[in-house]
Amino acid sequence: MAPPGPPRLAYVFWHWKRPDVAASDYEARQRRFHAALAAAPPPGFHGSFSLGLARAPWAAEGGDAYEDWYLVQDFGALGPLNEAAVSGSRAVPHEAAAAVAASGAGGLYALQRGAVLDAPRCAHWFAKPAGMAYRDLLALVAPVVEGARGALWMRQMVLGPALEFCLHAAAPAPVPAALRPLVVPLRPAWPEDGRGPV
């Protein structure tokens, strides 16, 4: 059962497979881990979703990779998630998934506008232009987020290799060109039915 209230924070993990591992095997192992985590969730955990992607320079040097979003209530839920991922009924699926990963990187993002999407199909990554105040940036993109019925995420504590902002949407959205967005198509990999956890 998900905790009360919407998730406000996400631990994001980019990872990619070893060259000798088949994509079908890699994804099957990842799904088993996500399923085990969903079946025995730690406190403050709202669920997870995994996305296939390419052309993100911080993941597999722009090659085929995956992006997992672990949704939590707040910062206090990160510790229990970290412990739960590698213990109990989740330990074996986690070890099996990790054994075939070539590498990975993590980040931390907080929801700024909109609501978590069930299965985003497009990510728009961008940074705050020099000299622009955060309030002005958020005001600039607010109508885009609303029009796209998307979710705007902001990196926290400079944790993660990706750009500072991510707008999840169902399709490409008209992010202002001044923000120089990097648009990355997404393919839902978990849950298998394409529906997210929230």
- Tokens standing for residue 97: 């998934």
How confident is the model at residue 75, as a pLDDT?
96
pLDDT classification of 6: cutoffs 50, 70, 90: confident
pTM over 0.85? The answer is yes
Report d(CA 43, CA 81) in Å as an integer: 8
Please state the separation of Cα 191 from the chain's center in Å: 13
With helix as H, strand as E and coil as C, how does 76-105 read?
Answer: HHHHHHHHHCCCHHHHHHHHHHHCCEEEEE
CATH 3.30.70.100 fits 9-190, yes or no: yes
Query: Of 31, 189, 14, which Cα lies nearest the Cα of 96?
Result: 31
| Model confidence pLDDT, tens digit, residues 28-56 | 999 999 999 999 999 999 999 999 999 99
Q: Which of 68, 64, 75 is nearest to 106 (CA)?
A: 68
Is the per-residue pLDDT at 175 higher than 70? yes
- Torsions phi, psi for 60 (to 5 deg): 55, 35
Q: How does pLDDT run across 85-125, given as a tens digit for each residue?
A: 999 999 999 999 999 999 999 999 999 999 999 899 999 99
